[in-house]
Structure 1
Amino acid sequence: MVQQDDFLFADIERVNQIPIVKTMLEVICRSTGMGFAAVARVTEDRWIACSVQDEIGFGLTPGDELEIGTTICNEIRASGEAVVIDHVDESESYCGHPTPRMYGFKSYISLPIRLKSGEFFGTLCAIDPKPNQLQNPRVMGMFHLFAELLAFHLDNIRLMERTHTAMQDLAAQLVASNDENRQYRHISSHNLQEPLRKLRVFSDMLVNATDRNEAEKAKEFAVKIRTSAQQFSMMIKDLSDFSGLTSKSSFADVRLDRVVADVMAQLSPQIEHRSIEIETLRLPTVMAVPEQMEQLFYQLLHNAVKFAGHDEPPRIRISSREMALHEIEDLLREPLQMAYAEIRVEDNGVGIEDSQLEKVFDIFARLPTGAFGQGEGVGLAYCRKIVRNHKGIIKAEANPGKGTTFVITLPLFN
C-alpha cells in the first residue's frame, strides 16, 4: 500500500483529482461487460492502482500494488503498445502466459497513458474472468479516447501545480514593488481565472457527455479543454518570462544606436510592408544589460509598428537628449550620481486615451486601441520592469488619434 511519504503518492492524488475518471471506469465496465477496470501508475519496478471500478471482487483499492513482473502492463511500458485479449485460451501470445493464470482472468485490455512530454505514466486497463469481445472499433475507440483524456488531464494538473509554484516564486520577486504586487493580485483574481473557469465548465460538460456515451460531444469538449489549457499555458510562460527579468544580470556599456539598428533589422519585414518611415537621431551609450536593452527597444518599436497610423504615412521617430540636473531631481526620488538621458520613441498611430496611460504597463493589459480592436500582452510590462531594473522610469504621453510617445529616462554610461 502506497503511503503519503512515497513520491508516487502524488500521482495517485492527481488521478483522483480528475473529475471524469470514476465515470470513465464505470462506462468501461457497463459498455464492455468487464468486471474490473483501473487506472494504474506503472514504473520500471512498480505497478500501483490509482483508481478502480471493481465489480468482481478482484480486491484492489487505490494505493494497492502488484508485483511489476507479474503484470502485462510491464510489457506495455516496455513496448508502448496496447494489449487486447478476447480469450486467453485462444491467444497464441498469452495462452501459456503466467499472468492470466495467476490473476484468474480470461479477457484483458490495456492501453498506455502517455503524457505530452512523451513520459509513460501508466495504463488504462480492464480484466474479467470470462472471455469477451474487445477487439472491435467501438471498444478500441472508447479506450483510446479515455486514455488521451486521462493524459490530457494529468498534463493539465501538473501544469497547474507548476503554475502554483511559479506564482509563489513570482510573488516573492514582486514583493519589493507595490505596483507589481497590485498586478499580481489582479492576475490571480482575474486574468488566470477565465481559462480556469472554462476548464472547469468544459470538464463538467465532458463528464456529462461521457456519462451519456456521446462520443462526438466528448471530443468537442475535449478540444475546448485543450484550447483553454493552451491559453493558460501561454499566460504562465509570459509570467515566467516576466519574473525572469532581474537586475542581477551583467551590466556593460551598451550603444543604443546599435541596439535600435539590430531591432529595426528584425522588424524590417513589418516596416517594409507598412512603408513606415523611421527617423533615428543620435542615441547615447548607457550602462545596462545588453539583452534587456534589446528587448526594451524591440517591444517599443514592435508596438509602434503594430499601431502605426493608416490615415497618413506612418512615421516613427527615436531621439534622445541629456537631462539637466534639476530635471533629474524632480523626476527621480533617488537619482544616481551620474548623468541621465531622456529617450523618446514617437509614432503617429492611433494613440491612447489619457485614462489608459498607466494601464498600458500592466501585465495582460486589455486596452481599447481604436480600429485595431483590443490588444493583450506583456510587452509594455516588460519595458517598465527593464527600465526599473536600470534605475530609470518610463511613461507614456498620448493624444488619441494622433499618436503615442514613450519617454524613457536612463542613467548614462559614465
Structure 2
Amino acid sequence: MHNPVQRKIRLGFFIAFSVIIAASFFSYLVTKNLLDNAGRLNHTIEVSKRLETIIKQLKDAEAAIRGFSLTNDSSFLHPDMQERSNSLQKEYEALRSIVIDSHRQQQHMDTLKTLLAVKYQQLQAGISSGSPRTERLSVTEGEKTMDRIEHVVEDMMQIEDTQLHEKTELFHFFSSLWIPVIFISSIVAILIGLYSYITLTKEFKLQLHIESKLKSYQRDLQQNIQLLNKSNQELEQFAYVASHDLQEPLRKISTFSDRLQVKYKDQLPPDASQLIDRMIVAVGRMRILINDLLLFSRAGRVAPESITEVDMSALLQNVLSDLEVALQEKNAVVHSAQLPIIEGNITNFQQLFQNILTNAIKFSQEDRQLEINISSQLLKGKEINIVKENRWDETFCRICIEDNGIGFDPDYAERIFLIFQRLHGISEYSGTGIGLAICKKIVDSHQGYIMAYGYPGKGAAFVIILPVKQKK
C-alpha cells in the first residue's frame, strides 16, 4: 500500500478513534448525571415521605388529644403517647440518616428534634389538663409549635427541591449536548467509513492492476531471459565454430608461407621476403586473437557441479609457478598474504589470477623493479558499499592485487574491462584487449565484483570481491 494512502487511512482511523473517545466521555457524563439525578430524586422523595409521616403522626396525636378532651373517651388515647413518640423517634432517626451528608439539613434536624420534644411535652400536658382555659392555652401553644415544625419541614423540602433542580438542570445541559454529539459522531463515523471503504477499494483495485502488470512483466521477462539465454548459447556456439573454422585457413596460410620461405627463399626478392615475414606475424596475431576469443566464449561458464572449495593460496602459487619465467625476466618480487578458501570454479579462478598477473608483468616499468602485492580481507556485505542490502548478511573475500607498473588514467577504470578495449597501441604492448574482459566475465559469473584503480606512472590496483559461499 502506498505511503500517502497509509497516512490518509491512519488519519481517518485516528479521527474516528478520537470521535469515539469523545462520544464515550459524553456518554459517561450523561449517564453519571442521569444516575445522580435519579439518586437525588429518590433522596428527595424519601426525605419528603419521612417528613410527611412525621407531620401526619403529629397531627394524628393532636387529633387524638382533642378527641379525648371533648369526649373524655379513652379509646382516643390508643395507641398511647409513648408508642406514638417511639414511632416518631424511629422516623426521625431514619430521616437523620438520610440527610446525614448535608450540614444544613443536619442543622434543621437538630431544630426539629427540639421542636418535637417540645411538642411531645405539650401533648402530654393536653392529656392531663382539666380546665377549658388550660386546654385553650395548650392548643394555642401546640399550634405555634406545629407551625414552627411545619416551617422547618418546608425549609428542608426547599433545600431538597433546590438540589434536585440543580441536578435536573445539569442533566438537561448534558442531554442537550448529547444529541448533537451523537449526531455529529455518527455522521463523522459514516463519512470516515465511506472514505476508508472507497480508498481501500481503490487501493485494492490498484494492487490487483499492479500485480497483473507485474505478472505480465514477469512473463515477458522470463521469455526475454529464455530468448537471451538461447541467443547467448547460439553466439557461443557460433564463436566456437567460427573460431575453429578460422583456424584451418590460418594453418594453410602459415604452411604455404613456410614453404615459400624454405623452397623459394633464395629466389624471392627482398621486398617479397619482408611481405612474407609480415604475413607470418599477422597470422600469429590472428591465431592469438582466435584463441582469446575461444577463451572468452568459454569463460564464466559455471555449472553447479563444477563449484568446489578452492584454496586460493595454493591456486595463486600454481599461477605464480606458471609465470615463473616471465617474472624472472622482469626481476619481479611478489608479496602475497594468506588467502582464504572460497567456493568457485578452480579453472576460472586460475584464469582470473593469471590474466591480472600477466597484465602486471606486461605493463611494468622498465627502469624499476616490478613489485606485486596481493592481500585479502573477509568482510560482511554491509561493510562493502557496492553490495546491495539483500546480500548484507553474506561473507565476502576482498582480494587486492597492486603493482608499481606504468598505471593508467582513472577515467579508463571501467573501459578496460570491455572486450577489445586497449589503452596502448599494438606496437607498444602486445595483446588483444580480451584478458580483462574475461576477468570481468569470470567474476560476474561468481556473483562478485571487480574494480580497477589506476595511478599514471605509479601503478595499478585490481580489487576482486567474491562471495565465500556460492548461492546454489
More helix by share: 2
TM bucket by the smaller chain?
0.3 to 0.5
Which of these two proteins has the greater Rg computed from alpha carbons? Answer: 2
Of structures 1 and 2, the one with the larger relative CO (CA 8 A, separation 6+) is 2
Normalising by structure 2, we get a TM-score of 0.39
